[in-house]
Amino acid sequence: MNSASRRHGWWLAAAVLLPALAALPFFLPFHRQDFMIFLLLDVMLVVSYRLVTLSGEWSLIHMVLMGCGGYASALLSKRADLLVWLSIPLAALLTAAVALLLSFPLLRMRGFYFLIGSYAAGEAVRLAWKYFVYPFGGPKGLKLIPPLELQLPFLEQPLSFVEPIPFYLLLLVVTCVSLLLLYRLEHSRIGLTLHMVHWQPSLAEAVGVNSWRYRTLAFACGAFFAGLAGALFVHYLGSINPNQFAIGEMLYILVWVIIGGTRTFAGPVIGVVVLSVLNEIFRQYDEWRPAIYGLILLLSMRFLPDGLESLPGRLRGLWRRRVAAAQG
């Protein structure tokens, strides 16, 4: 009963929110359209990152996996002349394959060792892009990456997804489908098993769960969606270089996820949306951005350790206490 009505609530919210989100860029200036695009990419990143955290691991390689998707799609379309519509999904799959390969050394570790190991592996991959001028273009990266285009019968020119609005709409669709899939995954049998592997690893093993397999699954699936985001991103921007995926960028993902909270699916999304919007409002202080993020991170660790997602519950508790105090 309750869950059914809640499900209806979700559908209703989606029915209102989606058209609004689709219509939004038509009313925004160019730089705000750009902002919306990066926001959607970041949403994909944090939600796919959450899948990894579900298995109990904090990885520092997620941003580099996004870069893998970007480089793969760029190389496939630029050097192998593959159709961009094919190179993007292929790049996402390749990223998942890279994650699978990396999982052999990385997932032998847990906790702190995994964190450091994933950092080292990510940095090594990034330095490889920097070092090998062929095929990765070295420190300058790759430029003139073919754009996504769609030949429509009623248009003379092919529809180019380098324009913000078409790209935004495409990205919106991809993001929504990705979120839906990731949500399903989390609420499926697999999500429950991941919860088990995270919180009671011994019990999981004792009842027959191959936890290594499930952690690999989470890691590779997370990588798939990060790679997808990276592949889309690179055809919009038209260029890619190793510095875009440096550890500093990875730390932003961590900040979003931690400030939003990791207990619920919505937590990381709330985190990235709230912080990005704040950031957009205080655009003139852009050079202070990392420091503001850092300060928010410190304060939220101190005063809101369960993230923004816990805020409604806390306020309700506070309200109830005040009401009780007023009555008693």
Partner 1 sequence: MATAAAPLLEVRGLCKRFGGLVALDRVSFQVREGEIRGLIGPNGAGKSTLFKNIAGFYRPGAGEILLAGRPISGRPPYEIAGLGVVRTFQETTLFQELSVMRNLEAGCHLHASSGLFRALLGLDRERLERQRQAAGRILDFVGLRERRAQLASELPLGSQRALALGIALLAKPRLLLLDEPFAGMNPAETAHMMELTRKVRRSGITIVLVEHNMKAVMGLCDFVTVLNFGRLLAEGTPESVRRDPAVLEAYLGSAAGGTERASC
Partner 2 sequence: MELVLQSIANALVQSGFFSLWAVGLVLIFGVMGIINFAHGEMVMVGAYTVWLLYAGQGLPFPLALLAAALIVCLLGLCMERFLFQPFRENPLGGLINSIGLLFILQVLAVQIGGLGLMKHVPPAFPGTLELPFEVRIPVQRAVALVVSLGLLAAVGWLLTWTRLGWALRAVSMDREAAALQGISVRRIGMFAMGLGAALAGTAGALMAPLVRVEPYMGHAVIITAFIVAIVGGIGSIRGAVLAAVLYAFFHTFVTTYYSGTLATMLGLFIMLLVLVIKPTGLMGSRLRE
Q: Could you say whether residue 203 binds partner 2 (CB under 8 A)?
A: no
Half-sphere exposure at residue 96, Cβ-oriented, CA atoms within 13 angstroms: 16
Closest distance between partner 1 and the C-beta of residue 16, in Å? 24
Read out DSSP for 188-229? SHHHHHHHHHHH-HHHHHHTT--HHHHHHHHHHHHHHHHHHH
Residue range at the interface with partner 1 (CB under 8 A); choices 61-69, 71-79, 149-157, 206-214:
206-214
221 binds partner 1 (CB under 8 A): yes
> What is the spatial distance between Cα 50 and Cα 70, in angstroms, rounded to a whole number?
20
Residue 100: which of partner 1, partner 2, none does it interact with, CB under 5 to 8 A by kind? none
Only one of the segments 170-178, 221-229, 244-252, 270-278 lies at the binding site for partner 2 (rule: CB under 8 A); that segment is: 244-252
Q: Assess 211 for contact with partner 1 (CB under 8 A).
A: yes
The nearer residue to partner 1, 62 or 198, going by C-beta atoms, is: 198
Tell me: does residue 200 bind partner 1 (CB under 8 A): yes
How distant is the alpha carbon of residue 239 from its chain centre?
Answer: 20
Residue pair 100/216 in contact by the 8 Å Cβ criterion: yes
Non-local CB neighbours of 26 within 8 Å, separated by 6+ positions: 165
Residue 87 · residue 291 · CB < 8 Å: no
Contact between 48 and partner 1 per CB under 8 A: no
From 173, 291, 318, 323, residue interacting with partner 2 (rule: CB under 8 A): 291
Tell me the window of 24-32, 77-85, 100-108, 199-207 that interacts with partner 1 (CB under 8 A).
199-207
Stretch that binds partner 1, among 67-75, 77-85, 133-141, 182-190 (CB under 8 A): 182-190
Q: Which of 108, 102, 104, 97 is nearest to 124 (CA)?
A: 102
Contact pattern for partner 2 over residues 251 through 280, marking x by CB under 8 A: x--xx--x----------------------
Sign of CA dihedral 238, 242, 243, 245: positive
Least separation in angstroms between residue 203's CB and partner 1 is 5
Residue from 204, 223, 272, 308 binding partner 1 (CB under 8 A): 204
Residue span binding partner 2 (CB under 8 A) among the ranges 127-135, 171-179, 197-205, 260-268: 127-135
Question: Chain-centre distance of CA 145, in angstroms?
Answer: 23
Rule CB under 8 A: is residue 160 a binding residue for partner 1?
no
Q: Half-sphere exposure (CA, 13 Å, Cβ side) for 296?
A: 23
